[in-house]
């Protein structure tokens, strides 16, 4: 059924507490934890606790949960002081979708990237 935990999914296992992670925020429906291989001073992953393979599938199946994920990503940016409203230089949200675009874990997740003097490369 849609959203059910997948035994072979890394992020479902982190949500279940079977694999340790450095959790920075938790809500009823989402979990935010530090990326194991950070690409910026702040690099946090925000995931829905329910399993969807990517952000579009999440938004299609549960738009309210997709909105909650985005709001939680914003709160992470505030907590980490990378949001301009918290005195930072701003931050970037990335949803890699598909292996060819760099997605390696097929459980929807937002990358929250920021910190330092700001993100140098403007991708788009």
Binding flag, residue 93, ligand 5GP (CB under 6 A): no
111 is catalytic: no
Q: Which of 106, 108, 21, 19 is nearest to 58 (CA)?
A: 108
Instruction: Find the binder of ligand 5GP among 7, 37, 64, 100 (CB under 6 A).
Output: 37
Binding flag, residue 52, ligand 5GP (CB under 6 A): no
Instruction: Find the binder of ligand 5GP among 1, 7, 36, 124 (CB under 6 A).
Output: 36
Q: What is the DSSP string of 71-93?
A: HHHHHHHHHTT-SGGGTS--EEE
Q: Which of 57, 63, 56, 77 is nearest to 29 (CA)?
A: 63
From the list ligand 5GP, Zn ion, none, pick the one residue 12 interacts with, judged by a Cβ distance below 5 to 8 Å according to partner type. Zn ion
């Amino acid at each position: 059924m849609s959203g059910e935990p997948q035994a072979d999914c890394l992020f479902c296992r982190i949500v279940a507490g079977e694999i340790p992670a450095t959790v920075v925020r938790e809500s009823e429906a989402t979990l935010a934890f530090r990326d194991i291989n950070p690409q910026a001073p702040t690099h946090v992953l925000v995931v829905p606790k329910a399993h969807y393979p990517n952000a579009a599938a999440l938004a299609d199946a549960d738009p309210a949960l997709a909105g909650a994920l985005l709001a939680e990503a914003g709160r992470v940016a505030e907590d980490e002081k990378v949001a301009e409203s918290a005195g930072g230089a701003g931050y970037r949200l990335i949803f890699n979708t598909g292996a060819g675009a760099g997605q390696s874990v097929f459980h929807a997740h937002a990358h929250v990237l920021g910190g330092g003097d700001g993100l140098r490369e403007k991708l788009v």
